């Protein structure tokens, strides 16, 4: 019997989910929900076999539906996910997981109680680039880790339902959580709001153990689109440029050593070696997300990005909000 999956929410991400579900053997995308009639009509034109509705409860209470993918505004994630779990559906929910850690914990507990699959769509963790970086870190090729530095900026899209931190920084926070065993201990943030009444630009600093530090710059007010991550260690450094169509990752055999023959540290030795551009998997990340979700449904196994992973990111987002309210004060991540 095919696995029957419904999609709730047809804004930007929902149609991408539907498209990828169509490509997986043994899966039927059978039902789609959105509150806007025009979006439902567009889905019906593209996929005549799919049923549509404006009422998500029609999907949630349908016993023929095995699982749901939720791609709705953040404020609705908790309500819809909870209803789905209570009606014995497996769930894939768009990032960020929930509006609060309290909501996230309740959904995690309900998932365990109902013995369901709950997965959070941190899409970047399924990219070939991020997985190559993790492979290099886990092999120790970078040596002792110094820093993670990311820039994720663009002109818009301004959103009324959330700020730039919960919209864009969530990607980098999920990547940090995935890549590094050293989890962040404290966070501080400064931001600005000029146009839409919500934070449109932010600089976020996370401190980890052993001097490792992460910095995230996100903005909706940049004249150019930039998607860059630098990861530095005492042996090698990595540049990940997501805008690059092919050469997304470059590994630099560069660093600074101290001259053992000198008493002070004012005579560094600059080391410059090869630049390596590794081959990475170019498969669409969302395709891998959906495949992994389906695999977890079939095998009843815990997803790579489960509720606990979603909760860890939400806790950091909450701490960032607190730091902003307290004018950039360093906040301990609980």
16 & 93 share domain: yes
Phi, psi of 287 (to 5 degrees): -60, -40
The alpha carbon of 142 is separated from its chain's Cα centroid by a whole number of angstroms, namely 23
Q: What is d(CA 47, CA 19) in angstroms, rounded to the nearest whole number?
A: 9
In this predicted structure, the answer to whether residue 106 has a pLDDT above a threshold of 60 is: yes
CB-CB contact of 268 with 237 (8 Å)? no
> Considering the domain boundaries, does residue 141 fall inside one?
yes
Going by pLDDT thresholds of 50, 70 and 90, the confidence category of residue 264 is low
The total domain count for the chain is 2
96 burial type by CB count under 10 A (0-12 exposed, 13-18 middle, 19+ buried)? buried
Q: pLDDT digit string (tens) for 229-244?
A: 999 999 999 999 999 9
In this predicted structure, the answer to whether residue 197 has a pLDDT above a threshold of 90 is: no
175 & 324 share domain: yes
Please report where in the chains the tokens 């042996």 appear, as a residue. Answer: 235
96 & 180 share domain: no
pLDDT value, residue 137: 98
Q: What is the mean pLDDT of residues 111-120?
A: 98
246 & 174 share domain: yes
Residue 280 exposure: Cα atoms within 13 Å on the Cβ side: 28
Q: What is the mean pLDDT of residues 151-175?
A: 93
Q: For all residues of the chain together, what is the average pLDDT?
A: 95
In this predicted structure, the answer to whether residue 306 has a pLDDT above a threshold of 60 is: yes
Q: List all residues 6 or more positions away from 40 whose beta carbon is below 8 Å from its beta carbon.
A: 10, 32, 34, 52, 53, 54
Phi, psi of 134 (to 5 degrees): -60, -40
Strands 51-53 and 27-33 turn out to be parallel
Q: pLDDT digit string (tens) for 249-262?
A: 999 998 777 666 66
pLDDT value, residue 258: 67
| Percent of the chain predicted with pLDDT > 90 | 89
Q: pLDDT digit string (tens) for 31-62?
A: 999 999 999 999 999 999 999 999 999 999 99
168 & 265 share domain: yes
Containing domain of residue 327, as a range? 125-282+316-332
> Considering the domain boundaries, does residue 310 fall inside one?
no
Running DSSP on this structure, what letter comes out for residue 126?
Answer: G
| Helix or strand run (H / E) with residue 204 | strand 201-207
Helix, coil or strand: residue 1: coil
CATH of the domain at 294: 3.40.50.720
Q: pLDDT digit string (tens) for 199-225?
A: 999 999 999 988 999 999 999 999 999
* 215 closest CA partner among 200, 230, 205: 205
* 160 closest CA partner among 198, 133, 122: 198
pTM: 0.94
């Amino acid at each position: 019997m095919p696995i029957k999956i419904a999609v709730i929410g047809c804004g930007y991400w929902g149609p991408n989910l539907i498209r990828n579900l169509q490509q997986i053997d043994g899966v039927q995308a059978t039902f789609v929900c959105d509150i806007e009639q025009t979006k439902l009509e567009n889905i019906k034109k593209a996929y005549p076999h799919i049923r549509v509705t404006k009422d998500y409860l029609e999907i949630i209470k349908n016993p023929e539906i095995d699982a749901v993918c939720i791609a709705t505004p953040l404020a609705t994630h908790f309500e819809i996910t909870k209803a789905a779990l209570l009606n014995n559906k497996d769930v894939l929910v768009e990032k960020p997981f929930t509006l609060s850690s309290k909501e996230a914990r309740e959904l995690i507990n309900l998932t365990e109680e109902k013995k369901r699959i709950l997965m959070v769509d941190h899409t970047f963790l399924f990219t070939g680039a991020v997985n190559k970086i993790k492979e290099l870190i886990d092999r120790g090729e970078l040596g002792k880790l110094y820093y993670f530095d990311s820039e994720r900026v663009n002109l818009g899209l301004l959103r009324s339902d959330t700020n730039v931190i919960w919209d864009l920084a969530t990607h980098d926070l999920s990547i940090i959580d995935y890549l590094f065993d050293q989890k962040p201990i404290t966070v501080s943030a400064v931001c600005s709001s000029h146009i839409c009444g919500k934070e449109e630009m932010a600089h976020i600093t996370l401190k980890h153990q052993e001097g490792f530090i992460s910095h995230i710059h996100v903005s909706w007010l940049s004249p150019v689109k930039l998607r860059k991550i630098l990861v530095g260690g005492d042996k090698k450094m990595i540049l990940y440029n997501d805008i690059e169509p092919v050469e997304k990752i470059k590994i630099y055999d560069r660093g600074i050593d101290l001259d053992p023959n000198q008493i002070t540290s004012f005579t560094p030795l600059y080391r410059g070696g090869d630049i390596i551009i590794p081959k990475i998997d170019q498969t669409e990340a969302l395709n891998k997300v959906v495949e992994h979700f389906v695999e977890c449904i079939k095998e009843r196994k815990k997803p790579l990005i489960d509720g606990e992973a979603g909760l860890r990111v939400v806790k950091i987002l909450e701490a960032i909000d607190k730091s902003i309210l307290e004018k950039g004060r360093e906040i301990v991540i609980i």
